[in-house]
């Protein structure tokens, strides 16, 4: 099995697990599980890299992309890149396309996501620090 096929299968599995988890949470999980607050924020008073992610996912599930972006920009970005990746890889496999998007492009998307994550964390903490003065 090639690395590209392995990445595609793992991506499909991860998306399926995430979708199943969201379906479970919205059908039965709300009554069973409370989403805890951020331990890092409660301990240090600083935003962690994931702070706002849960609110962003919930906003996205309810169709509010703008609010999801404001809560945490990595969530809508990740959903967009994941959707485009799965659609493109599926198209290539179904139609035996010779024109393929190089894996370096997808790796670049992951790198951009890490930059967005780090930038968001830094900006939010700088703004938090400035607002406390």
**Residues ≥6 apart with Cβ < 8 Å to 73:** 116, 120
CA-wise closest residue to 14 among 71, 106, 85: 85
How do residues 44-94 score in pLDDT, each as one tens digit? Answer: 989 999 999 989 998 998 999 999 999 999 999 999 999 999 999 999 999
DSSP state of 46: S
pLDDT in the model for residue 37: 84
Q: Which residue has the higher pLDDT, 8 or 29?
A: 8
Percent above pLDDT 90 for the chain: 63
**Mean residue pLDDT across the chain:** 91
What does the block give as tokens for 33? 């599980």
Whether 125 contacts 47, CB under 8 Å: yes
Instruction: Break the chain into its structural domains and give their ranges.
Output: 36-131
């Amino acid at each position: 099995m090639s690395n590209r096929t392995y990445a595609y299968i793992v991506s499909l599995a991860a998306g399926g697990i995430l979708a199943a988890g969201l379906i479970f949470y919205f059908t039965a999980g709300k009554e069973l599980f409370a989403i805890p607050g951020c331990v890092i924020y409660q301990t240090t008073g600083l935003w962690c890299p994931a702070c706002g992610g849960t609110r962003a996912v919930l906003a996205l599930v309810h169709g509010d992309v703008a609010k999801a972006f404001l809560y945490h920009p990595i969530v809508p970005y990740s959903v967009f890149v994941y959707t485009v990746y799965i659609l493109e890889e599926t198209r290539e496999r179904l139609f035996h396309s010779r024109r393929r998007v190089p894996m370096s492009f997808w790796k670049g998307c992951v790198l951009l996501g890490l930059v967005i994550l780090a930038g968001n964390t830094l900006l939010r903490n700088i703004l938090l620090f400035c607002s406390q003065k």
